[in-house]
Amino acid sequence: MNLTILRTLHSPVDLNNLEEFKEQGDVALREKVRQLAGLFKDAKRVIVFTGAGISTSANIPDFRGPNGVWTRQAQGKAAPKGVSLVQAVPTYTHMALAALLSKGAVRHIVSQNVDGLHRRSGVARDALSELHGNCYLEQCWVS
Is 132 one of the annotated active-site residues of the chain? yes
Question: Rounded to an integer, what distance in angstroms lies between the CA atom of residue 98 and that of residue 72?
Answer: 33
**Other residues' Cβ atoms within 10 Å of the Cβ of residue 38:** 10
Q: Measuring CA to CA, which residue among 139, 98, 131, 135 is closest to residue 115?
A: 135
Question: Rounded to an integer, what distance in angstroms lies between the CA atom of residue 85 and that of residue 136?
Answer: 10
Residue type at 101 in one-letter notation: L
Element (H, E) at 108: strand 108-111
Element (H, E) at 82: none
State the catalytic residue, choosing from 10, 94, 118, 132. Answer: 132
Active-site residues: which are they? Answer: 132
